[in-house]
Structure 1
């Protein structure tokens, strides 16, 4: 009788031991991947810096779809165009969730970060509210005026302080999206919201790096461990929370004050406030929705343009070829405008190459499965985290010979805009993966393409970009374009600072820049400079 009574206990203990021993091991029919260890799986192999490099090496060994065991969780890394199209686009209803993130979605943004939300009716409503202001037709009809004016100021700023070109690129990108979201431009890099956003970008990058916080989403019991033993991760998250809420909250209060004193203006934040009641939005929802749009539209374009500048210093023959095309179309009597796009095919391919060569988000933003899926005979359970290996796809030598060389001819004959390729059924002809996939395709894709084109076309029309000379040796200072040594650590890709010699190409171009800037300053900028209320 005693043994019979102990049998359930023995079976229960045995099952628990077996279950614990299974943690970290691949399930049956999972995609292959690196060997695992009990409990931790592949966690011990996860690189803390530049994980996209290791992910790409594993893709060479295990193929275009392989799995990683992250403790009890599963991640799948995709570097195969066909599988990405099948899983991320055709099966988007099952692959559009986000991985659970206590830090970013709850501690920092209190559940209201649109980028981190699951695929739900509420998320789709919020995305629709942003997308309706960033459509292709609106970009061409309305936002093109902002592009033209802000890119003219970019030329003016570089003309008078060329050594500060990195900051000028940041101001340019920031001012465009600030004008669209809040109806407030950034006339200089000293604007408090510009400085505040730069701080948030840096803090966000640090807190979201692999290993920056304990894996509480995988092992919830770690939340019970005093944070002082785990790098004070809660306090660091609260610091980011406070910065985010101070900046985005201050900007929204500025918009509200403007509405009270002078009335609404044509911008996203005003429209969101007007639709709060209709869509059941709180001020916190609106604050984060507008703020996330600001961040997404600001730092990514600036990072891509900084990498492009590096390429111009290193590949003078590419620069000269683009300048020859621009000169043939517009000469030196006018500055290029968006209407010139179709007549400058080499420039169009240069923009694509800038997105491919050093992608700002080399692993994109991870998705998560909301349902079990089978693909190519492999089983992917519900909850699997999906990484699209953007860097690995962009380094594919079968698509891009000599992929580390900046060469717009990688895209020769492919001059459609990124949205057309992303939405095409022809996955083999997709230009790049910098704007995401499926239902998570970046809603700012049309705006970002135009940001890059305006900046690149005008900078090449106006200036020669060369290596700066060392004052002691008189030899050119060439930037390090190696991803391993020339780019910052972390999940995002941005080069270390480097100098460049930037000189205006002719006096006639100088005079035209001055005239166009004076016109923009008198006729256009005042519309976006009526508010200076941000003080938080």
Structure 2
């Protein structure tokens, strides 16, 4: 048995080597016929640039490479060509103007075929099913007007956050933000209000989305390079990755199925709260349509919860690091809202400086620094460079949002860059970058904006935020602030002091507790 397994594995690896060699030869022939691919660092035989790209903060490596090879580069990862875009100009020209061929996603064997995340909108391949998902989500989240239906949920859950921060100011801030954001998204998606502590649905969804970030990293699993390995039985020695994929698949299936069934049960009992799922199910859809509804709802949570948490924690960290910005926002709030009530969603339009803070939060720490990779559907030639069909297209959104040609002093948190005045035009709106490009722009852009702005307004109206410390208890400065490296970037672990601005502010928060 052992000899047979070993022989099979050796045969598989020999076949893989031959296939990879043929792919390299084919690529060389295509480049000769159509012109060169964009420049980039020379890779090693067979593996290409696989060892040159760090798993963490790779956007900084790409930015450094751009200083030598330019804003449009290419590398090869084990035979797979990848184009790296470092500038807004190239991103706009390719992903907006040529979106018809640049809107696909890479075929991810581990994340897609094995774990099943290719049925979630963010990784769904471009085609009819993708358009159907977008159509469903646009009916509920497609405009600021449609999102206004969910404003009471956002205001209520943000108020509960204020109350928790008053009761437990030294508590785990990321957990508090995650609970609030998870509650908002689950209420909108399913009409499900999580329990106060350690809600099982939030725990399930967070675990599944963390696993998605792990398996979606390009090159993290050999099966993404050698697709035939997906047929390896999970019991085979060395197939621990396959067993992991099967566990992750079960978690992903639960994440989408359990809350969907919750809504169906509530609708059957006549007690369902308004939500995306209950609205879509009200028309008694056919099985295929119901499946799309189920996966679209799962897409809202998986695509919006963790990214919104990152943006809200980034806002809090920035306020603690730039007290002058915080003070100016509080003065604007005091003038527009007063001291006798909390701000509401209706006040947001009267707060231009706070809106500028939101934009600067998106820019200062880009939540998804490399975006989500695109893939090209057919061969293309751009500025004399050949980009072959199937190439992964990676957009260095972090570099674009820190480009000194676009943003003056880009590493300083300065909301005024987005306000007109002093004879200067506002700098590029970061929403044109941070939420993606073309037909892949995030469908939850309006929900994310409403959520982060309400957190910002309500927090600053009643709390002062100061004294940021890193996980070792050392004070953080603008120069030493750090952010994590993975697919979604968060502020590195930190604590800060959050205290009521006045007795009157404290009374407003206590009144919220009495009403809840």
Give the TM-score range, shorter chain: 0.7 to 0.9
Asked whether the 8 Å contact 1:200–1:240 carries over to 2, the reply is yes
Asked whether the 8 Å contact 1:481–1:495 carries over to 2, the reply is no
Match of 2:25 among 18, 22, 27: 22
Asked whether the 8 Å contact 1:486–1:496 carries over to 2, the reply is yes
Q: Structure 1: how far apart are the matches of 2:498 and 2:214?
A: 32
Task: Quote how far apart the aligned CAs of 1:258 are.
Answer: 0.7
Q: Structure 2: how far apart are the matches of 1:199 and 1:268?
A: 22
Q: Which residue of 2 aligns with 1:106?
A: 113
Query: Does residue 1:188 correspond to 2:185, yes or no?
Result: no
Q: Which residue of 2 aligns with 1:75?
A: 82
Query: Does residue 1:116 correspond to 2:123, yes or no?
Result: yes
Query: Does residue 1:46 correspond to 2:53, yes or no?
Result: yes
Correspondence list, 1:60-459, <5 A: 60-109=67-116, 111-139=118-146, 141-164=148-171, 165-214=173-222, 216-223=223-230, 232-262=240-270, 264-274=272-282, 277-278=285-286, 280-283=288-291, 285-413=292-420, 431-459=431-459
Q: Structure 1: how far apart are the matches of 2:19 and 2:113?
A: 31
Task: Quote how far apart the aligned CAs of 1:236 are.
Answer: 1.6
Task: Quote how far apart the aligned CAs of 1:139 are.
Answer: 4.2
Q: Structure 2: how far apart are the matches of 1:44 and 1:29?
A: 23
Task: Quote how far apart the aligned CAs of 1:431 are.
Answer: 4.7
Q: Structure 2: how far apart are the matches of 1:30 and 1:440?
A: 24
Q: Structure 1: how far apart are the matches of 2:194 and 2:433?
A: 29
Q: Structure 2: how far apart are the matches of 1:263 and 1:118?
A: 36
Task: Quote how far apart the aligned CAs of 1:378 are.
Answer: 1.5
Structure 2, unpaired ranges of 5+: 1-17
Asked whether the 8 Å contact 2:77–2:219 carries over to 1, the reply is no
Task: Quote how far apart the aligned CAs of 1:71 are.
Answer: 2.6
Q: Structure 1: how far apart are the matches of 2:95 and 2:316?
A: 32
Q: Which residue of 2 aligns with 1:464?
A: 464
Q: Which residue of 1 aligns with 2:514?
A: 518
| Other structure's SS at 1:406 match | coil
Q: Structure 1: how far apart are the matches of 2:190 and 2:20?
A: 57
Query: Does residue 1:478 correspond to 2:475, yes or no?
Result: yes
Task: Quote how far apart the aligned CAs of 1:185 are.
Answer: 2.0
Q: Structure 1: how far apart are the matches of 2:20 and 2:227?
A: 19
For these two proteins, the number of residue pairs brought into alignment is 488
Q: Structure 1: how far apart are the matches of 2:209 and 2:466?
A: 29
Task: Quote how far apart the aligned CAs of 1:21 are.
Answer: 5.8
Structure 1, unpaired ranges of 5+: 1-14, 415-425, 522-536
Task: Quote how far apart the aligned CAs of 1:357 are.
Answer: 0.9
Asked whether the 8 Å contact 1:88–1:437 carries over to 2, the reply is yes
1:182-230 deviations in Å (ceiling 9; x for gaps): 011235242211222222233222333355322x333335446777776
Task: Quote how far apart the aligned CAs of 1:111 are.
Answer: 4.7
Q: Residues 278 and 482 of structure 1: is their aligned pair in 2 closer, same or farther, counting only changes over 3 Å? A: farther
Query: Does residue 1:509 correspond to 2:505, yes or no?
Result: yes
Asked whether the 8 Å contact 1:139–1:447 carries over to 2, the reply is no
Q: Structure 1: how far apart are the matches of 2:386 and 2:98?
A: 14
Q: Structure 1: how far apart are the matches of 2:114 and 2:244?
A: 10
Task: Quote how far apart the aligned CAs of 1:122 are.
Answer: 1.8
Q: Structure 2: how far apart are the matches of 1:251 and 1:357?
A: 35
Asked whether the 8 Å contact 1:98–1:116 carries over to 2, the reply is yes
TM-score by length of 1: 0.84
Task: Quote how far apart the aligned CAs of 1:432 are.
Answer: 4.9
Q: Structure 2: how far apart are the matches of 1:113 and 1:431?
A: 23
Q: Structure 2: how far apart are the matches of 1:211 and 1:345?
A: 43
